[in-house]
Structure formats: C-alpha cells, structure tokens
Structure 1
Amino acid sequence: MGTTLRQQMDSGTMSRYQWGTVALCLLLNIVDGFDILVVAYTSTSLTNEWGLSGSELGLLLSAGLFGMAAGTMFIAPLADKIGRRPLVLFCLALAAVGMFASALAPSPEILGILRVLTGLGMGGIIVSANVIASEFASKRWRGLAVSLNTTGYAFGAVVGGLTAVWLQSQFSWRGVFVFGGAMTLAAFLVLLLRMPESVDFLYLSKSPQALSKVNELARKMNKQQVTDLARPETASVKKASAVSTLLSPKYRRSTIIICVGFFLNMSGYYFVQSWTPRLLVQSGLSEAQGNLGGTVLNIGGMIGSIAIGVLLARFALKKVLVSYFAITGVLMCVFALVPSALTAAFIIALLIGVFANGCMAGLYTLVTGAYEPAVRATAVGWGITVGRMGAILAPIVAGGLLDLSWDTAGLYLLMSLPFFIAGATVAMIKIIKSNTGTTQKDDVVTNA
C-alpha cells in the first residue's frame, strides 16, 4: 500500500481547495450562529407580543437547543454511514423549512415546536461542519481550521444582532426569521454546488466510485494520485458499533472528560449568548444597547476563535484550553460588577466573547483529533449532544432564577462556575505529543 491521500494531507501544505472547503464549513457555522440567537435578539418583541414570563422565555430560548441536542445525537451520526455531504444538505433543507415556518407562528407553543424542528437540522449541520473542516486540514493547521470554522458562529450572531433591530422596526420579529430562512436557503444552494465529500469517509466507503472520487479530490488539492483505498488501521473500528467504540477502554476516559467539558462549557456559553442582551436591558440599558452588547460579545468571539487557532499551531492544546477556561471564569465574575456601566460592560463583554468562544473552538479541536474517522462524527455528535443538555438547562435555570428576583450580578457569578470546573476537568485528560518535526503540537488524546 502506497501513501494515502490522508497521509499527504496531514503532512503537506494546505492547498487553496482545502482552505476553500474550510470556508464552506465556516458558512455553515454562520447560519448556525444566526439561528441559535434569533430568539435572543427578538426576546423583547416576543415578550411584549405574547406577555411571556422569564421562565416561558427561557423555555423558548432552549427549544432550539433541545432540537439541536436531538439532531446531534440521532441525525449527525448518520454522517458516518451515508456521508458528510448528503447529511449536510438534508439538514440545511430541514432548517430552512423550520425558519420560514417560524415566521408564521401564531403562538409561543407553535414557535417552540418549530424551533425544535429547526434545531434538528442545525444539530446535524454543526457536527458535520466541524468534522469536515478537521478532515480537510493538515495536522499543523487543523486547530486553526476548526477555530476559523467556529468563527462563523460568532459572525452569524453578529449579523443577527446588527440586522435584528432594523428588521423588527420594519417587519416585526417575524422579519428576522424570514431573513434567517433566506440565509439558510442560500447556504443550501452554495453547498449543493461546492461541498465535496470527506476524504476519510470515501476511504471507508465501499462505493465503486470511491477511488475515482478520491483521485479527483487529490487533483484539486494538488496531491499525488493513489492506486487503492486500503486502510488496514480502520479494521478494528468496523468490529464494533461507533457508540461502543467511544466507550471502549481505548477511548472511555477521553469520552467522559470531553462530554463533561462540553456540558459545562455550553452551560456557561449559552447562558452568556442567550441572556446577555436581555440582562443588559434589565440592568438599565436600552433595548438597542442590549442588542449591541450581544453583538460586541460575538465580535469578541470571532477574535477569540482565530486567536486560539493561531496559538494551537504553536502551543500544546491542553495548556491553552485550560488557560482559556480559567480566564473566562474570571471575566464572568468581573462582568457581574459592571453590567450597568455601558463602556465597562462592553469592554468586558468583548473579552468574554474572545475567551468563551475560544473555549468552544478548543473543545472542537480536541474532540475531532481524539477519534478515528469511522467514529469521528459520532464522537463529535455525542460530545455536542451532552453539551446541548447544559445549553438547554442554562437559559431555563436563568429564567427561573430571574422570576425568583435574582439580579444580573448573581446570575453571572453563578454561571462563572461551569468555566472554572470545565478547566479543571480538561486538565485531567491524558495527552501524548507526536513528534512530527513541525511547530504544531500534534496532541493526541490517550487513555494510558
């Protein structure tokens, strides 16, 4: 067996085609970022129209996240069976239908159901986007590729914040959902024309056309052609189901730590993302200033995703990620003291965005590098599914505490704890460093 295309991609330079594929994954995350926060940016309008309590709004904020959790658990793993590309296209179509239908919702109950439907599609999208970005990157730049991918989420959230105020003033909150549906439909058309299938999936595929497709990708990436698709190192994976493989002695420790890390991180992360605009208004700022605070948060998120990607090309993943978690927790405590001071609140919100989004990017890099291709989408899906449970609970708990007269400072102090605990959890993971001769710290998760 000669050199595989995967080996060439790992050790070679990143071609324009590879970076272009990462850019397509970034587009998927832009759609995801807009979708997740569309209720957060329309929360005041929804509350005014339907007279929602804090708990009811919390449930509505969590409905989409519940759908995403179900999507990552039940739909995303199909990417390991039918391929990354067809799954992405199906999920985009499902999400577009959900967004357009949400604009017609006559009640909060119907909107909640449609948010679950939309979330099902987005759950499959977010997993596949991160897997594809990882699989098309070289070892040296894998961390940056995944981090750039997560930058799309923050950019989508920024687009949501900047457009939501104008769209609501012209077309009510329903116009924001129509805009989101149009964005999702446009992404579907672009990816229908441009998204390739994963090289790793093609190597595992028994399709008669797999070899020709691999060599077509090799040509586009300026790599050498291959003569066969032999890959004996994947044989062990085929003997067991993907889920049992994740819980096997080889992966059990990593799987538990990664799932706990995702749960804690997403609890704090989605509390910040979902409630910051509303809590800033409750602290005395105007609705426009509250939405601007959410936008500033996500501008910081874009900076943070890129920054951690650059750092991961030079420094060990675990050290960088643990440091990001600790700094985020400290910043949450500081933010609790300044929510009504406009300038200070925006500066701290920017920094929280930098480090909180960096934590998310670091976890995606960790999980995509920890598993073999045959179970990678399943592993990412399970990690995100467990994380979404925290993401679902956080807005609901926050809404309930608001109804119990908790103030903004108390909520932010409470939600700093998940970041501190997540950092301590990730610090327990075992890492070995491969010796590749590059500046990349090619960290590999092990259970030894």
Structure 2
Amino acid sequence: MSASNVVDVHTFLDARPIGRQQWRVIVLGLLILVLDGFDTMMMGFIAPALIQDWGLQRQVLGPLMMSGLVGLSLGSLCAGPLADRLGRRWVIILSVAFFGFCSLACAFAQDLTMLTLARLLTGVGLGATMPNITTLLAECAPLRRRSTLVTSTWCGFGLGGALGGLLSEYLIEDYGWQAVFVAGGVLPLLLAVALLALLPESLRFMIQAGKPQARIVAAINALAPGTADARTQAISTEHSDLGNARQGLGSVLKGPYRLGSLMIWLAMFAGFLNLYLLSNWLPITAQSAGMTLSQAALIGAVLQLGGAVGDFSVGLKMDRWEQNNVVSLMFAGSAAMSLLIAIWAGHAWALYVLVFSLGYFMMSANAGCFALATNFYPTAIRATGVSWVFGIGRTGAILGAGAGALMMGWNWSITHIFLFLCLPSLIAVIAIQCKRLHALKGPSTTAVSNATDDES
C-alpha cells in the first residue's frame, strides 16, 4: 500500500487548519457548557427565593446543594469509562436529554425531599455530559491549539452561570423559582435534538476502537473531502505507554500516569471546593451582609462573568507557555484575590471588582486543569482520565457546598469565608508543581505529552 493511501490521524488532524466540522463541535460544545453552567449554578440563585417561599432556614439547604454535586460526581466517574468503550457521541446526546428531563422534574417538586432527589438525578446527567464533550473537543482539535479550544469552550460554563444569575432575577420575580427549572429543562431537550443531527464521533476514537472502514473513511472525508477511499488505511501514531492494558481506572493510575493523575485530582478537588462553595452560597452570604436580593444575584453573576473571561484566555497562555506553570499561577492569583476580598469586604465597589477578578483566576485555574488532563492522557483512556478528574473534582464541590452550609450555621462573615478560601488554592499550587517536577525527573508520558504539545 502506498504512503498516499495511509492516513495517520495523529498528524492528519494536527497539520490541518481548523475546519467546518471542528468549528461545529466547538459551537455545540459551547452551547452544551452554557446550559451546563446554567443548570449547575442555578441553585445558588434560586436558594434565597426558595427560602422565602417555603419558609426554610439557610442551613437546611445543605443536602439540596450537595445532592446535585453528588450526582455530578457519580455521572462523571461512570460516563468516562463508558465513553472509552462505546464512543463519545451517544453518551453526550443521552446525557444532555437526561439532565433536561430531570431539570423539568425539579419544577414540579412539592417538598425539599422531592427537589433534592430530582437535583441528584439532574447532576448525574450533567456529570456525564461535561467530561465527554471536553474529551470530544480535545480529540477534534489540533495539538497546537488544544488548550485554547478546550478552555475557550469552557467559558460557556461561566457564561451559563452568569446567564443563570441574570435570568433568575427576572424569572423568579415574574413567574416564581419554578420557571428557572423549566428554562433549564426545555433548552437542553432542544439542544439534544440538534446534537442528534449535528454532533460527529471522534475520529481518533473510531480508529482506536477499530470501527468499520466505511465509517472511518466518511469521517476523514468530512474533515477533508476527497482524502480517503475504500483503499485508505487509517492509523494513529499517538504515543502511549499502555501497551495492551485494558481500558479503565487501572490504566489511569498505571506507572507513568499515576502521580500526574493524583496531583491533577488534588488540584481539581481544591479548585471545585472553592468554586462551588462560592457559587452556591455567595448570593446568600451577600444578602445576609446587607445586600438586596437583586444585588446578591448580581454579585453571583459577576463571579461567573469573571470566570468566562478567564476560561477564554487561560488556554492561550497554556498553548504559549509551560502549561503547569500557567495553571499554578492562576491558582496563586485565586488565593491572592480571596485574601484581598477578606480585607476589603466592606467596600461595595471594590468587592465587585475583586469578585470579578477572583472569578477570572479561580475558573481559569479549573479550566486549565481540564486542559492539562486532555493533554496528559492518550486517546485509549482520555475519556476515563478526564471524567475522573471531573469526578474527583466534584467530591471537592460536594465538600464545598456542605462546608458552606456549616459556615452559614456558624454565622461566618464574608471575611472568614474568604480567608478560608486561600488555603485550597495554595494546596492546588503545590499539587500542580509536584506534577511538573515529576515530569522533569526523566522521560515519562507526561514529559512526552507536554513536549509534543510545545513542538506542535
């Protein structure tokens, strides 16, 4: 077979400019993450109205806040191995439809128990969606632009969270808090229909999984018309130290991947602890500090807007400079902003500026961890690796939501809360630097992966 009849997907995708199909995946991924951000963050905005409507104490919302996060963790941990076996496309489509139906169910909950169960199931769908759309996007992107595209798409999560704050104020005032759940359910169902028609499967996965020749040829020609025919042999020269190891969690924790996986998990745990503590409890904390319901919703939206800007920009930095150092710098900036807010919490305008800056550093650090994971793992275990980064991160989110409930019960002030937030960010800095230093000790998968990204 001549060289012209061989297509190496690893170099084929990396050598080409971003085409129409890849842009389609980027746009669809952005829309998915906008809706994910809206659904994931909405409880923080609904909570004050729910407290007033049902006559609840703030601290009793702890199980409700944590239920969605438990679901997110479960969905993330289970969906990645499933996607590495069955493919990314169908897992994404079914997950989007599932969390849409469950969000609608939340609108009809009659008590706190029913609402908590519905949010748990919504979280399962959300948790299955996010790591797999991140994986699919990474596998469609050229290596030289992978971090930029992954983190830029994740700005949709921050935009969705901000949209949740802005729309919640309008919907709750005119239609009640149930209307927010209706919006968070109908929109994903409409998007699932669009995904069914437009979302492609990962070409890297199709070759890795040995899919039929006709499907692979069609996928190659969708990216570059006329490139492949029935005689074309599609291969992948992607570096991997897995050999014939079975896909799954064991591969993620195998030799050269072990320390890097553990350190990304720790950083993601710390980053999500901070993010979800603030996302769920910042509006309530701001209201208890004297702000109106409208001002409390606005400051929550400001946090998410700062995150959207950070998500968009951090990938540009990671594709230009050493990735681990960039992510470490973002976590350090998050710690610095938390400290400044603790000092100047009484100054209203300074608080808005600092919360925006905190959102920028905090969410760009988290998005940077996702990008690190997509670059760290090969195609055979990428969905598993990325989904476990999400899943472990979600356990931090659960702890953050629960810690917020305790802080409300202890009547912690804004100053106390933001002083606490410095600690997890500093732990994340140490974890990412340990990963970087381990890669420098000798040849490893991490070093090879990062070197490949830099060279491309």
**TM-score bucket of the superposed structures, by smaller chain:** over 0.9
Q: Deviations over 1:80-102 (max 9, x none)?
A: 11111110111111101100000
Residues in 2 aligned to 1:355 and 1:89: alpha-carbon distance in whole angstroms: 31
CA drift at 1:231: 4.2
Matched, 1:194 2:191: no
Q: Distance in 1 between matches of 2:383 and 2:224?
A: 26
2:175 counterpart of 1:171: yes
Tell me the residue number matched to 1:360: 366
1:111-130 mapped onto 2 (5 Å cutoff): 111-130=115-134
Secondary structure of the 1:196 match is coil
Query: How big is the shift at 1:225?
Result: 2.5
Output one character per residue of 1:339-362: Cα deviation in whole Å (capped at 9) or x when no partner.
343211110111111111110111
The question of whether the paired residues in 2 share the 8 Å contact of 1:215 and 1:225 is answered with yes
Structure 1 residue runs without a partner (length 5+): 444-448
Tell me which residue corresponds to 2:234: 229
Identity %: 26
Tell me how far 1:434 sits from its aligned partner: 6.1
- C-alpha displacement of 1:64: 0.7
Report the CA distance between 1:38 and its aligned residue: 1.2
Alignment of 1:74-153 (within 5 A): 74-153=78-157
Q: Which stretch has the larger CA shift, 335-344 or 244-253?
A: 335-344
In the alignment, is the contact (CA less than 8 A) between 2:318 and 2:326 conserved in 1? yes
C-alpha distance in structure 1 between counterparts of 2:252 and 2:284, whole Å: 39
Paired residue secondary structure (2:311): helix
Q: 3-state SS of the aligned residue for 1:427? A: helix
* Residue 245 of structure 1: aligned partner: 251
Cα separation, 1, equivalents of 2:455 and 2:73? 30
Identify the match of residue 308 of structure 1 among 308, 311, 314: 314
Encode CA deviations 1:226-277: one digit per residue, 9 max, x unaligned. Answer: 7123447669454324211112112111111111111111111111222221
2:160 aligned partner: 156
Q: Quick one: which amino acid aligns to residue 292 of structure 1? A: L
Contact 1:264 1:387 in 2 (8 A): yes
Q: Choose 425-434 or 156-165, whichever is displaced more.
A: 425-434
2:302 pairs with 1:299 = no
How far apart in 2 are the matches of 1:121 and 1:358?
A: 24
**Which region of structure 1 is more displaced relative to structure 2, 382-391 or 15-24?**
15-24
- Please name the residue that 2:13 is paired with: 9
1:410 equivalenced with 2:410 (yes/no)? no
User: Which residue pairs with 2:400 in the alignment?
Assistant: 394
Aligned position for 1:343? 349
The structure with the largest helix share of the pair is 2
Q: Deviation string for 1:56-112 (max 9, x for gaps)?
A: 222211211110000011233211111111101111111011000000000111101
After superposition, what is the alpha-carbon deviation per residue over 1:113-167, rounded to whole angstroms, capped at 9, x for unaligned? Answer: 0001001000110011110111111111101111112111011111111110111
Shift of 1:195: 0.4
Render the CA deviation track for 1:316-338: whole Å, top value 9, x for unaligned: 10111111110110101111233
Q: 2:337 aligned with 1:369, yes or no?
A: no
- Identify the match of residue 40 of structure 2 among 33, 36, 39: 36
* SS class of match (1:336): helix
After the TM superposition, which of the residue ranges 226-235 and 91-100 deviates more from structure 2? Answer: 226-235
Query: Structure 2: how far apart are the matches of 1:436 and 1:18?
Result: 23
User: For the residues of structure 1 that align with 2:76 and 2:351, how far apart are their CA atoms?
Assistant: 34
Q: How many residues align?
A: 440
Alignment match of 1:53 (pick from 53, 57, 78) = 57
Contact 2:80 2:128 in 1 (8 A): yes
Q: 2:454 aligns with which of 428, 436, 441?
A: 441
Query: Is 70-79 or 161-170 further displaced after alignment?
Result: 70-79
**1:220 aligned counterpart, secondary structure:** helix
Letter in 2 for 1:280: A
Query: C-alpha separation between the residues in 1 aligned to 2:449 and 2:110?
Result: 59
Distance in structure 1 (CA, Å) of the matches to 2:352 and 2:240: 49
CA distance in 2, matches of 1:121, 1:355: 27
TM-score, normalised via structure 2 length: 0.92
Shift in CA distance, 279/9, structure 1 to aligned 2, threshold 3 Å? same
**Residue pair 2:375, 2:450 contacting (<8 A) in 1 also:** no
In the alignment, is the contact (CA less than 8 A) between 2:18 and 2:141 conserved in 1? yes
What CA deviation, in whole Å up to 9, does each residue of 1:12-37 have, x standing for no partner?
32223212211211111111100111
1:446 equivalent in structure 2 = none
CA 1:235 to 1:292, structure 2 compared with 1: closer, same or farther past 3 Å? Answer: closer
Q: 1:70 aligns with which of 68, 74, 81?
A: 74
SS class of match (2:255)? coil
Q: In 2 relative to 1, CA 51–87 (structure 1 residues): closer, same or farther, beyond 3 Å?
A: same
Give yes or no for the alignment of 1:219 onto 2:221: yes
**Structure 1 contact 34–157 (Cα < 8 Å) conserved:** yes
Counterpart position of 2:339? 333
C-alpha displacement at 1:394, in angstroms?
0.8
> In the aligned structure 1, how far is the partner of 2:365 from the partner of 2:154?
11
Deviations 1:180-201 (A, max 9, x none): 1111112111211110001121
Letter in 1 for 2:330: Y
Given that 2:43 and 2:65 are in contact with CA atoms closer than 8 Å, whether structure 1 keeps it comes out as: yes
Tell me, yes or no, if the aligned pair for 2:376 and 2:450 is still in contact at 8 Å.
no
* Counterpart secondary structure, 1:229: strand
Moved over 3 A (4+): 229-238, 430-438
Determine if the alignment matches structure 1 residue 382 to structure 2 residue 388: yes
- C-alpha spacing 1:266/1:237, structure 2 compared with 1 (3 Å): farther
Letter in 2 for 1:225: A
TM-score, normalization: structure 1?
0.93
Cα separation, 2, equivalents of 1:378 and 1:400: 33
Summarize the Cα distance change of 1:207–1:235 in structure 2 as closer, same or farther, 3 Å threshold.
Answer: farther
